[in-house]
Amino acid sequence: MDDFGRRLLQRLVRRTPAQALKATLGKWERLTVAQRQSVDFTQPKVAVMEQLVAIFEENGWTVKHITELEMINYMENANRGMWHAFQMTDPKDDANAVEMMQFKEQFKSHLSELVRHVSVKIKKHTDEALWIRIAWGDSYSPPNHLKPTYVVHHLQTPYVFVTSLNSKQKPFLVQALILSTGYQGIKDANLSGQKLTAIRDLLMKQYQQIFPSKYNSPLTEKNETVSNPHIEREQSEHASKRLQMACEAFGDGIVPQLQTAVYKLETKFRGDANTNRTMTKREGPFRCLVKFASTNLLESFRECASSGIASTPVSPLLSSITLKGRNYFVVTENGLPSSQT
């Protein structure tokens, strides 16, 4: 194995916890049972590394095989890096009939036509998602395996999730995707987060949703606490109603874990003309950026609304995170979040 192979393998071993590495090797079908058992994961990482190198050299495996291993590892631990969502638009008639083999072939051939040196690997994950690993090179340099781009696409859906994509390479990827999926356009879905599953669930509406209804929902019963007969809530209907409204806006149960929501305001400054003359007199819009950050943003919002810290009904600005499946908004003067990218 050459130096570069060693470096790549070393990086993989270093970045992965021992248990995850063991699981990854188990998933990799190339290793024999005996080889797998011979690696002792209780040792320090350096020793594990040496054992792996020995196995790789014994079988004559190269960079190609290491990238395979890396890909399996990434698929199992997808919550690294920043994932961005894209949505393809204007499907052609055959967009719903794209089949996996056809997509694989077309994507590879289109991309290698566009970029001279590129290494593409496509694998199907257990949940029917297609994982694409792209190592980019250019006319003069071979593919850089240290900075691969990962793309996740569910066939027959317009959504694509991308991580660590360079702006220079974006047009190539976009073009290859459009040509091989039967869509005619692609746009930024304005949604990003560290958890791939979370942004996927949010876009595909795969979380427990509550729909507005005028009848009492079972939620009110859930909220009832066994309390002392001497304690009485005067405005008890408020609490259950707030919870209902919060769940309508942000979902019930476990909500997708988003980390941020960003609002770019381009509105006029409104306020008392006397107290802030310089601001209200300005002709142009007042630009500012409002950013909410939390380890689980939707849950925080739901908690704020249901506990009464934030007012209910929830502002459409906040509820459109789930409604429209995005977390980046540009708010312009007409008051509604516009969909400009």
Partner 1 sequence: MKVGDLSVYIDMSLLKPFSKLPALNAATILLVEREERFQQNLADALVGDTTVTVNVRLAKSLPLPMDNEESRPRIDLVVFIINLTSELSLKSAEASLKYLDPGYFLGKVCFLATNARNTSVPTERLDAMRKLAASLHCPLLFAEDQTPDGVNSATERLLTVLKVAAGLVPTATALYLSSLTRCTIPPDIDQPSFE
Figure out which of the listed residues 79, 144, 166, 307 binds partner 1, where binding follows CB under 8 A.
307
Question: What is the nearest approach in angstroms of partner 1 to the Cβ of residue 278?
Answer: 22
Question: What is the nearest approach in angstroms of partner 1 to the Cβ of residue 236?
Answer: 9
- Answer yes or no whether residue 34 interacts with partner 1 by CB under 8 A: no
Sorted by sequence, the CB contacts under 8 Å of residue 233 that are 6+ apart come out as 239
242-268 CB burial, b ≥16 within 10 A, e <16: bbbbbbbbbbbeebbbbbebbbbbeee
Instruction: Please give the Cα distance from 177 to 169 (Å, whole number).
Output: 13
- Answer yes or no whether residue 101 interacts with partner 1 by CB under 8 A: no
- Phi/psi of residue 35, nearest 5 degrees: -65, -40
Residues 309-328 interacting with partner 1 (rule: CB under 8 A):
309
Question: What is the nearest approach in angstroms of partner 1 to the Cβ of residue 156?
Answer: 47
- What value does the CA radius of gyration of the chain take, rounded to a whole number of Å? 25
Q: Which of 153, 152, 156 is nearest to 94 (CA)?
A: 156
Q: Look at the block and give the residue holding tokens 């570069």.
A: 4
Compare residues 231 and 289 and give the one whose CB is closer to partner 1.
Answer: 231
Inter-residue contact 296 to 194 (CB < 8 Å): no
Sorted by sequence, the CB contacts under 8 Å of residue 196 that are 6+ apart come out as 78, 79, 83, 152, 161, 163
Compare residues 93 and 234 and give the one whose CB is closer to partner 1.
Answer: 234
Q: Which of 117, 111, 149, 110 is nearest to 132 (CA)?
A: 149
Question: What is the nearest approach in angstroms of partner 1 to the Cβ of residue 290?
Answer: 18
Binding range to partner 1, per CB under 8 A, among 16-24, 40-48, 82-90, 223-231: 223-231
Compare residues 196 and 314 and give the one whose CB is closer to partner 1.
Answer: 314
Inter-residue contact 329 to 320 (CB < 8 Å): yes
Instruction: Please give the Cα distance from 28 to 133 (Å, whole number).
Output: 16
Figure out which of the listed residues 26, 81, 308, 335 binds partner 1, where binding follows CB under 8 A.
308
Residues 225-244 interacting with partner 1 (rule: CB under 8 A):
228, 230-235, 238-239
Inter-residue contact 150 to 133 (CB < 8 Å): yes
Question: What is the nearest approach in angstroms of partner 1 to the Cβ of residue 227?
Answer: 8
Question: What is the nearest approach in angstroms of partner 1 to the Cβ of residue 257?
Answer: 24
Question: What is the nearest approach in angstroms of partner 1 to the Cβ of residue 242?
Answer: 9
Question: What is the nearest approach in angstroms of partner 1 to the Cβ of residue 223?
Answer: 12
Q: Fill in the per-residue mask, 260 to 299: x = in contact with partner 1 (CB under 8 A), - = not in contact.
A: ----------------------------------------
Compare residues 3 and 234 and give the one whose CB is closer to partner 1.
Answer: 234
Q: In terms of residues, how long is the chain?
A: 341
Residue type at position 301: F
Compare residues 212 and 308 and give the one whose CB is closer to partner 1.
Answer: 308
Which residues would be at the binding site for partner 1 (CB under 8 A)? 228, 230-235, 238-239, 307-309
